[in-house]
Amino acid sequence: MKKHLLLIVVLACLLIGCGNTEKLDTYYDGMQSFNGNVQIITETLDLIDVTRDSAADQITTQLNKLLEQFRIMSELEVPRQFAACEELGDDAYTYMQEAVRLYKEWLANPDNTSDDTLEMAKENYERAMTRVNYISIILQGGVPEGEGITITEEDATDFSPVVDDSSANDAVENDVLPETEPIVDDEELPDDSNPDEVDEFAY
C-alpha cells in the first residue's frame, strides 16, 4: 500500500523561526554535527584504494561509523515544530542499517554474492540519504518534493501543536510517512530519490 508524507507547513511561524527554544537549538546543533561527521566519512570512503587487500576492512570500518552517525541522528529529540523529521530520521536509520548489512555481505565474498545484493545496498543507501535531504529541506523552511509525498499546508493561525496522542493518528487516513520497509528482495524498486537534487545534508 502506497504511503504518503504528511507535512504540516506553518507558513508564518516556522519560516521566521519564532518561538526558538533550547530544544530547537539542540536539534539544529545535532543535525549540523551529523552533517559534518557524515561528510568526513563519505570523503574517507571516496579516498579508499579499492585495489588494496585492506580495502574491504577499511570500507567496513567507515560503514560502521556511518551507521553509528545515523543511529545518533535518529535518537535526537525532535521539536514539535518539526515533527515530520522524527519519523524521517527513523526511516533513514532503518534504510542505512539494511544498506550497511548488504554492503558487508557483498564485501565478505564479492565473487560469490549476487550483483542484486550490491544494487539493493545502493538503493537502501540512496533512500536513507533522500530522507536526510528531506529533513534538511524542512529545517530550512522548505517543502520536500518527490514521488510518494503528499503536502498539506495550513496557515499559522489554524495550526494546532503536535501532541503525543496516538488517538490523533487514527483520525488521519492514508497520510503517513513514505514506505520505510528496507529493500531485501528482487521486487521492482521505486525511484523515490533524485540524486541531482541533493541538499546540504545529503551525500
Which CATH code for domain 15-144?
1.20.120.1730
Q: What ranges do the domains of the chain cover?
A: 15-144
pLDDT of 159 strictly over 80:
no
Quick one: three-class SS letters along the chain? CCCCEEEEEECCHHHHCCCCCHHHHHHHHHHHHHHHHHHHHHHHHHHCCCCCCCHHHHHHHHHHHHHHHHHHHHCCCCCHHHHHHHHHHHHHHHHHHHHHHHHHHHHHCCCCCCHHHHHHHHHHHHHHHHHHHHHHHHHCCCCCCCCCEEEEEECHHHCCCCCCCHHHHHCCCCCCCCCCCCCCCCCCCCCCCCCCCCCCCCC
Give pLDDT, residue 14: 44
Q: Could you read off the pLDDT of 103-148 as tens digits, one per residue?
A: 999 998 878 777 889 999 999 999 999 999 999 999 888 888 765 4
pLDDT of 36 strictly over 90:
yes
